[in-house]
Amino acid sequence: MDSVDLLKGSGGYEMLPGATMDDMRTIVLPLGTIVSMTAELKILRWWQKEEDFVSTSSVVRVEP
């Protein structure tokens, strides 16, 4: 399976400080599939002229 950009075409997100957000995308996979997932977030603080980068990864097996 190729890499999938779940936010492609979304235009990105703009959030105010202290905001919370829930977002979900689904991909149907066969049972027994092992998938490596990585989520990355770049936070640009334009008023401070700096940015932060947060990344997390996980390997999961699709089970019933």
* pLDDT score, position 5: 80
Spell out the domain ranges in the chain.
Answer: 38-64
pLDDT tens, 27-46?
888 999 999 988 887 777 77
CA angle 44, 25, 31 (to 5 degrees): 135
pTM recorded for the entire structure: 0.55
Structure tokens belonging to residue 44: 């640009």
* pLDDT score, position 37: 86
